């Protein structure tokens, strides 16, 4: 008889769907299957995710259900030393993608000062647009 791994629980599929949406928001691509499985396993092994408030879980549910901009909203929800649950989830996906070593967003390289400056300006402009959109989404959907 094949026994499921200890981390494979009924909510594992929901966690993998969550990781897929967060990865798409961060990187604009589909998440590898290994990252999805590692994300679900981490939720059962790390205490960081057990200590969330009802308001945090409600906010995460709203962001995921309405397919809002997870990356931008997560940055706005964190204040001071306390990390919002959404921010902790973003950090986990980013960490898992970085640990892979094959993720294209961690191997991108620009040579020369002019291409570097142009890339920095484009990234900065997109960042500003995402932050404005996130502030609007937070206000409209009542995310705390």
Q: pLDDT per residue over 50-95, tens digit each?
A: 778 888 889 889 999 998 888 888 878 876 667 888 988 998 998 8
Q: Are 75 and 63 in contact (CB under 8 A)?
A: no
**Predicted confidence band at 4 (pLDDT cuts at 50, 70, 90)?**
very low
Q: Which DSSP string corresponds to 39-95?
A: HHHHHHH-GGGTS--HHHHHHHHHHHHTT--HHHHHHHH-BTTBPPHHHHHHHHHHH
Please tell me the distance from the alpha carbon of residue 32 to that of residue 106, in angstroms, as a whole number: 15
> How many C-beta neighbours within 10 Å does residue 143 have?
23
Cα–Cα distances (Å) from 86 to 14, 94, 104, 131, in that order, read: 15, 12, 23, 15
pLDDT of residue 53: 86
Report pTM.
0.72
List of residues 6+ apart from 90 with CB closer than 8 A: 22, 26, 70, 71, 74
List of residues 6+ apart from 30 with CB closer than 8 A: 20, 23, 24
pLDDT of residue 105: 59
pLDDT of residue 2: 45
% of the chain residues with pLDDT over 90: 11
Q: Pick from 80, 82, 70: which is nearest to 27 by CA? A: 70
């Amino acid at each position: 008889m094949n026994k499921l791994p200890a981390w494979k629980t009924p909510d594992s599929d929901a966690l993998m769907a969550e990781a897929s949406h967060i990865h798409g928001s961060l990187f604009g691509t589909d998440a590898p299957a290994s990252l999805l499985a590692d994300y679900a396993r981490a939720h059962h092994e790390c205490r960081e995710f057990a200590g969330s408030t009802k308001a945090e879980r409600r906010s995460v549910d709203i962001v995921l259900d309405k397919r809002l901009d997870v990356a931008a909203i997560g940055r706005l929800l964190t204040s001071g030393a306390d990390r919002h649950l959404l921010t902790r989830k973003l950090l986990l996906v980013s960490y898992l993608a970085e640990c892979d070593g094959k993720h294209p967003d961690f191997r991108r390289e620009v040579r020369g000062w002019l291409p570097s400056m142009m890339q920095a300006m484009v990234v900065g402009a997109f960042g500003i647009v995402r932050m404005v959109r996130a502030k609007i989404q937070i206000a409209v959907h009542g995310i705390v």
